[in-house]
Amino acid sequence: MNAHEIDYKIFGDDMQFIEIELDPQETVVAEPGAMMMMDEAIEMKTLFGDGSDKESGLLGKIFSAGKRVLTGENLFVTAFTNIGQGKKHVSFSAPYPGKIIPVDLMKFDGKVICQKDAFLCAAKGVSIGIEFTKKLGAGFFGGEGFILQKLEGDGMAFIHAGGTLYERQLQPGEVLKVDTGCLVAFTATVDYDIQFVGGIKNAFFGGEGIFLARMQGPGSVWVQSMPFSRLADRIIASAPSQGGKRRGEGSILGTLGDILDGDN
């Protein structure tokens, strides 16, 4: 194996964190700001690029970092190495309510494609790059632009999904249509495209968006029930308006609701 062999344990239900167990000189890389806690013998180091060492030299590192910028990620990753004796631990927390998905890349021919903000952490040696969609429809209307994120290598990688996670195994030729925001990841064998939902009423009044991701097997597809964008929209909709009042407070129903809630 080129990637470090790491052990892990996931804690929690709706707000999960993952504990990585490192043998001496083993390393895990993570997104900046994801670390929750670590043992004293863990050394933390900021790396330019994805930390995979796949690209050598300054130009290679710049190219690696540039790929991360295109996917909306940070130029740097943080590497955590056990420089002590015996097994040590470092933990990373999920950025919002949902599930942490362990992905053994060896089981998926060394490659998994995911949405650009799904990556949480991985064993050192896993390459974090970009995946250009093959079809113009997927690029323009897929919700992720022309670019998705790809994880390559032979080690463990961990991605995050919002809400409840569902994994679907597609048989050859089997098709699954998914809301573009709910699509988390899929294996390289899955054919990915975007389809118009069809019908004027569906497009403008269906409330489900006008494009769906069409996933055709064989392969695995991971779907999330609560995309962060949908969660953010609900929070914004419930945020106080100008004057410090919640939306709807100017109506009779809003005032009655405040009384029942004990606000007045």
Q: Does residue 250 sit within a domain?
A: no
Q: Does residue 259 sit within a domain?
A: no
Terminal CA-CA length for the chain: 64
What does the block give as tokens for 188?
């390289």
Q: Which of 37-51, 137-151, 178-192, 202-216 has the lowest mean pLDDT?
A: 137-151
- Cα separation, 97 vs 107, in Å, equals 27
pLDDT in tens, 74-99: 567 899 999 999 999 999 998 888 89
| Predicted local distance difference test score (pLDDT) of residue 70 | 54
Burial 134-164 (b: 16+ CB within 10 A, else e): eeeebbebbbbbbbbbbbbbebbbbbbbbbe
Beta bridge partners of 195: 212
What does the block give as tokens for 55?
């690209």
Beta bridge partners of 215: 176, 192
Domain containing 222 equals: 7-231
Q: H helices of the chain, where? A: 57-70, 136-141, 200-205, 228-238, 252-261
Number of H helices, E strands in the chain: 5, 19
Q: Does residue 244 sit within a domain?
A: no
Q: Which of 17-26, 133-142, 217-226 has the lowest mean pLDDT?
A: 133-142
- Count of structural domains within the chain: 1
Q: Does residue 253 sit within a domain?
A: no
Q: Does residue 262 sit within a domain?
A: no
pLDDT in tens, 93-141: 988 888 999 999 999 999 999 987 888 999 998 988 887 665 555 455 5
Q: Does residue 1 sit within a domain?
A: no
For the four alpha carbons of 155, 138, 69 and 19, in that order, the dihedral sign comes to negative
Q: Does residue 254 sit within a domain?
A: no
For 2, the 3-state DSSP assignment is coil
pTM: 0.74
Contacts of 263 (CB under 8 A, 6+ apart): none
User: What CATH number corresponds to the domain at position 74?
Assistant: 3.60.160.10
Q: Does residue 238 sit within a domain?
A: no
